[in-house]
Structures are given as C-alpha cells and as structure tokens.
Structure 1
C-alpha cells in the first residue's frame, strides 16, 4: 500500500528525490563508504535537507519545518533508506529526541533546541536504557537529586548510539520512590559535554558503536527539565507509540530486500527464489501496517496495540531479510554481514519483540506470562 493518493505528497517525494540525486550527495556518500561506522555521518547531506526544510518537515516553520504532516516525515525516512543514506542520526535526532522535545517541551526549550536540529546543524540522542532496564523502563536506576539550582543526575545508561557527535541527550531518571515505579520518572535535557559525563565504548557486533554513558553528579538546571517532574513515564509511553509506527523498519527491510533480490536472482536457486517472493509479500503487508499507523497518527488516533503490531512485524521482517541475504551472498559478502549484524538490534529498539507481543496479547484479552 502506498500512502493515500495525495498530489502534494507526490510532489514532496519528487522534490526530496531531486535533492538526494544531487552529485554532491553521491560524492559525500562515496567518501564516507570506507570510514568507521561512527564517522559515517553525511553532515552536508543533512544540512542540505535542513536548508530546504525537509529534514523535519512535520515541525512548525518557526522551528525549521514546513508545517507538514507525519506522512511527509515518513517519506523522508523511506527515501533516506532507499538512497543508502545513514539514517541513524535522523532517527535519533528527529524521530526520537526531537519529536519528544516538540511534544512536551516548553516554548523556550523548543526555540532553543529545535531549529538547529531541523537545520541539520546539531544532533541529539535519547538515553533511557540501562543494564537492568531495557524495555522495562520502570526498572531504571539512574536517579536525579534535587539541589538548590536544579538537579544532579547519577547513574549509567547503556547501548546508546551516536553519542559522541550529539550535543544534548534526553535522559530518563528517577526523581521519586513513592507510589508506583512508573510514577517517579522525569525527563531531563542533559549537556553531554558536562564534566560529569563519561562516554565509553561497549563492544558489540552492531555496526553502529554502542556506548555506556556514566552520569556522575551531572548538573541540570531547572530550565532543562523536560515535561512534568515525576511525569516522564506517561510522556514516554505516548512517544514510544509514535516511534513504533514501523516506518523506519519497513524502509530498511525494503532497501535490504533489493540487495538480497539481486543476490538471489544471480544464483537462480528455486528455494531462495521462493523465500524472496514470500518476503516481498511480507514487505508489502508491512508497509500497509506502517502507513496505516502514519495515517492514524495524523488523525490523532494512534494506539499502542496497533503500533506494537507494526513495530514487531517489520523489525522481525528485517531479520528474515538479513538471513536471506546472508544465505544468498555468503559470509564473505560485506553487505549481507552488515545486515545480519544490525537486524537483531532492530527487534530490541523502541521495545523488544517480546514486549510488543505482550502488548498485542493483552489487547486481545490473552494471558501474558510474567
């Protein structure tokens, strides 16, 4: 399924494709091809999109957007993947952190942070996950202690990406132990150049480096509390539903599928060809799910259960496509190995597959094992 037919969306997609087809974009991607994954940031391409207000089109014009819709943002995600442009900075900065700031920040915070993000001049990350608190954020242990001029944060965040380039992070920390665990979480905008922040590499197979971020008495002024104190859980619950539309996952699965298709077709293997046909059908279904969520989001009717379905289906599809690419291309094929290294992490980001299945099961009235 394509988005609901809309000439304006078609024009937007064509304009975006025109920008991404420019020679300077291709030259930058070629120059980055042999660099380490953490350095593979197409800064000039992102700035080009920012200059044309196409990096965050759904944001208000006063913050660098176009006053457009979530469908326009979904098109940006699809085209970045289709053109082979590293999308992790876009996902972290625009889809995750930036969208959260837009959703819950006060006017001063929005004016301070959003324009530079939309212009491609700055990046921002989210720091939620901990060693003992992955998909279950209610278990997080990072704490924030109130001081006279704000807060001080103590704790450790794990499996963070793109941290070394980012200027700020949205950090979830515990501010209260009273009542339910979910009720005592607050979000903070944390400057990553603070002397209390230590960033260390975490060894993994994931193509983008993971980092541990230690927060040792990091000072956060009261003006950088994001949303209500002790109300962060409810903000995150709404934001995660938006992250789980599945658009980024199906965009990646679709671009990977094109690579796998070339490998399979070169072999003329009937078993692999049958798997390819099946995955193409699943990808078509995954796009239906994802774009249904985008349209629901535009209507203000996005619910957590359907978003969980889209996220689970499309992230698991990425694993299947990666496995097909490896089976067709072999372990010596760099593209196939890179897919297989990245795919498992996609099933964990924005909530692991088991969490998604639990949400779906609960919505159907099924008993969920603890």
Structure 2
C-alpha cells in the first residue's frame, strides 16, 4: 500500500494515531482526536475514518472498547510515507564526533564506544557487527614501549589497523623486536592471518624459524593477541534501556522475548548480513523479519564504510516498534558515517 491511496482526511487521522502511539504508547480514541488542535471533524466522522483505516489493516483496537493503535503494516506505511526525520543539532554531532574519536585506536574499542553511545542517546539496545578479519596482512611491527612491554601494530591489505600490547620476556635485546618483525612480515606477505599462523607454528615446532628462544617467544606472544577469526562478531549493549518503559505484563513478556532474540547472535548476524547492501539506513519493523515476530521489535541499522565506499560492517539500535524513528534514524546514520571515517 502507498500513502497516496489514502485521502486527505484519512491521512490526517492516520498520522495523528501513529504519532500519538509513538509518543506515549497508548491507544487513542475518536473523542480525543476530535479535540486535537486543527481538527475540524466530529467524533462520529473520525470514527468512520478509523473504521476505514482498520478495514485496510493500518490500525486496530488492542482491547475491547479501546482506542486504536497502528499495526505493523501501518507503522511501515507511516515510516515510508509520512515520517518527518529530524536533523541532529550541532551539539549532538559534536558529541558523537568526540565520543567516537581516536585515530589509530583498536577497531573493537571504537565500535564498543559507538554502541555504548548509541544506546544512551536512543534509549534502546544498540548493536554493531564487527567485520571479518580474513583480509591478507600487509605489515606487522613491534614497537617498544618499555623494557617489559611492546605494541604490536598490524595493517591488513584492506586498510584496517589494529594494535595490541604484549609483555616482553625479561632480558630481551631491542634487536629482537626488529628480528621478530622481519620474520613475521616475510611469512605474512599476501597471506591471511590463518595461513601465516599455520606456517609459523610449523616452523617454530620444527625449530626451523632461525630465531633465538627469546625472539621466538615474542613471535608467539604477537600471534596470540589475534584470534584470526574470519567470522563477523556482534557487540550488543544497553539491554537495560529496554526495561525503562515497561507498563504491563505483556510488555515485560515482549522484552523477555527480545532479550532471547538478542542472545541468538547467529540469527541476528545473518539478519545484519542481509542488510549490508542497503543504501543508507535500513529499518525492520516487527514480523517483517522472523527473528522479531514474537517480540514485536524494530531494528534500525546502517552500514559503515571505508573511504572507497566498501561496506565493512553494520551499526544500529533495536527496541519496541514505537521507538522514536524521527530521532533514531539520523542518529544511527551519522554515527555510522563517523565510525566509517575513523576506521
């Protein structure tokens, strides 16, 4: 259904019902709507319009003799055709810039801060899909920090830079860090992490690495800091925000089901993978996706990209279907752009 199929009167009443629901979550009746400023219709006329909207499947009565609230179909029609998306203030943009900033930080730290920030700003749970790490490695270097610690810097062919701090064995000469770097770079060139690690593990086990024992320990420590996982992982934060507006037992049951959905990270990751090709923000409302068919939840996500516009992950928020779409959509969109620039 397109919003253009509704006449002007139906469109006005439909908008008011949806906006009232998104604002307070309560059903709204014809008498309340008739008292709304700018409405020049009797309660009886509004009831007739509401009956037509209910017949088309856009609104329904959750209880006998209650007012009306939008269906999931109605919410989709509203979001696609009537929603007026707000703009972020300069202060909000600056806050996101500052909280996510930090050139050269570990990718996981940037994404962790971004998800915590989004959950607080949107008062929902937030999630981010951390991209796969199976790109060939370009360069690795050990940078001494002190006599006991060194920074391991790894650059992959796709431009991702990651840092780890490792402990150094006692008595390690500075030249050993250079030797360890040269050794690993020669094995990593044009290979993925897993491919290089398999080669290095064999050479160390067979004592063919031509490294002294201390340098060999540095190499092992450096390898141990990376999992080499080629599967996308998921960070979820802010579940507690979903309990802030629980009003009834059925609300609590819905949240419990959503918590169960959030624990099913494999299914959620698959859902985010499906949204990777979206241009800009993608919105899933309720049973449009099987994962949320029981909890009645909405997911607002956006891809974050590298400088060449290649999508490397997804970030977004999840909450009840009556989330503040007008505020959350630009918040998710801008945060995705910021972390894309940083990463």
* TM-score with structure 2 setting the length: 0.23
| Greater relative contact order, per chain length (Cα 8 Å cut-off, separation 6+) | 2
Comparing both structures, which one devotes a greater share of its residues to helix?
Answer: 1
TM-score by length of 1: 0.22
The structure that has the greater radius of gyration is: 2
